[in-house]
Chain A
Amino acid sequence: MSNKVIAGVAVAVNTEGFMTNPAEWTREIAVEVAKEEGIGELTENHWKVIDFCRSSAENGKSPTLRTITNGTGLTTKDLFALFPKGPAKKVARIAGLGKPEGCV
């Protein structure tokens, strides 16, 4: 666990770079982290997903892709287009949440 300055704010992150306190998150942080993830600009659909994840997070953990598609009406394909490669992890990082609870 360490601190990292993102968009001018010091926030707590874990070894994988996920924020550990969702309350420290700001929209400016999202823009900055998105850039780190190779997403230059956050469009309306990006925000729709980010806002959905923020509002349906449980214990600070981001929801699964299935919950996101169900809740936003976007398809898995859309999510891969918006957040290429690993949308579940990318959205979690950008939204200042932990990885979706590991399924067992």
Chain B
Amino acid sequence: MKTLLILGAGTGGTMMANKMAQKLDLSEWRIVVVDKDETHYYQPGFLFIPFGIYGPDDVRRSKRRYLPQGVEIIFSGIERIEPEASRVVLSKNSQILYYDQLIIATGTRIVPEETPGLKDAGWRQNVFDFYTFDGSVALSKFLRRWEGGRLVVNVAEMPIKCPVAPLEFLFLAHAFFVEHGLRDKVEITYATPLPGAFTKPRTAAVMGDMLKDRGIHLESEFMISEVDNTRQVVSSFDGRELNYDLFVTIPVHMGSTAIQASGMGDALHFVPTDRQTLQAKKWPNVWVIGDATDLPASKAGSVAHFEADILTENLLCAIDGLHPEAKFDGHANCFIESGFGKGFLIDFNYDTEPLPGKFPMPGVGPFDLLKESEANHWGKMMFRWVYWNMLLRGAELPLETQMSMVGKHN
């Protein structure tokens, strides 16, 4: 009996368990999944919780429910990987698991401790993140009672998960304050280390205008150095200071502690991965999917979804002793919620930045690209249903794995 071991049962790990259970001969292969947490969170929903659009129960389900029969799940922390010996050490009873093939799907985590002062007295009092379940729920309680003041939203360092989420947060915050008759009492500043509102030039220009139209001040190339919650000030390394009453942080992101302890990652503990085949650069029987990779692609569920198709094909090839041939192109596809029931859609890959045009989707599309529309908002809302009912279970979606230029124009 051979073992396929999957570390992490989040978006990527769950999809891979489902896909591989359909493809592998389970009389020859044992599929084992390890995760420390029994609850699966629909992370894109964390964005909506602070504004009362989703409640806690909209975004959590039992992990076990999404894993197929025949797949073993072990709930335990992962201590470290020993790739030279093809084995993994778990926290629970220091159990050792040997593997023939390993899929790393341990995602990324926020590390607020990296920014001096961030986790001091104000943490979850008037300083919040919305990238965790607890953070977004705490912020929703705060916002229900807030009477206004200076809101500063800051990205500490790139890369972050879902790089459009901070912008969506700003648009939704603006809409929330307008709807609650508070907008004239709130000053909103967006401080980002990027030179503009987003990483890709055309999207940055469109999003920059959106911020301006909403009276949101953009503080660009802002590299945060510390937070002083007694003075309610955040400072940057080049000497700028921003005053806040409410500070919303997107903290430094790093790979899993398991990657750190194994010394398999880069400076941020992301695993060096072949950008096309998704094989770990150093170990041929180790594969990486989703946020855990060091690829210059968005850390997004949609990316993990496209990667899952490529990874399934390549892993099956490798198991049969063939060379992995399927190539990932960096495809990402993100709805951007812009408030008041509208949204954007962007579609891009390693080489092509998001372009305007139409995005065809059989049955429901087309959606407008790089342009605000109501349909895009419904696309985003529908995505939660698709996520729970189709995506995690490894079902085919009407989306092409490779980015297509159909409908796009320059």
- Contacts from A to B (Cβ < 8 Å): 64-67, 69-71, 76-77, 80, 84-86, 101-104
Contacts and interface: CB of A to CB of B under 8 A. Distances in A.
21 contacts: A64-B267, A65-B223, A66-B157, A67-B267, A69-B267, A70-B267, A76-B223, A76-B237, A77-B225, A80-B237, A80-B238, A84-B238, A101-B296, A102-B199, A102-B200, A102-B296, A103-B159, A103-B163, A103-B296, A104-B159, A104-B199
Nearest to B252: A66
Interface in B201-253: 221, 223, 225, 237-238
B221 A86 contact: yes
A-B pairs, top 10 by smallest CB distance, nearest first, are: A103-B158, A70-B267, A80-B237, A103-B159, A67-B267, A66-B267, A104-B199, A104-B298, A102-B199, A85-B238
A80 B163 CA distance: 25
Nearest to A81: B237
Contacts of A71: 267
Given A70-B267, A104-B297, A76 B221 contact: no
Contacts of B163: 103-104
B400 to A, nearest CB: 20
B268 interface: yes
Interface of B: 157-159, 163, 199-200, 221, 223, 225, 237-238, 266-268, 296-298, 332
Nearest to B221: A86
A50 B67 CA distance: 49
B223 A67 contact: no
Contacts, number: 39
A66 B269 CA distance: 11
Contacts of B237: 76-77, 80
Nearest to A103: B158
Contacts of B267: 64, 66-67, 69-71
A64 B253 CA distance: 14
B215 to A, nearest CB: 27
A67 B332 CA distance: 25
A64 B223 CA distance: 13
A102 B297 CA distance: 10
Contacts of A86: 221, 238
Contacts of B298: 104
* Most chain B CB atoms below 10 A, which of A65, A69, A77: A65
Contact of A104 (B200, B225, B238, B266): B200
Nearest to B238: A85
A89 to B, nearest CB: 9
Contacts of A103: 158-159, 163, 199, 296
Contacts of A76: 223, 225, 237
Nearest to B303: A104
Contacts of A101: 296
A77 B267 CA distance: 17
Contacts of B199: 102-104
A55 B238 CA distance: 27
A97 B225 CA distance: 26
Contacts of B332: 104
Contacts of A84: 238
B158 to A, nearest CB: 4
B221 A104 contact: no
A49 to B, nearest CB: 15
A64 B163 CA distance: 17
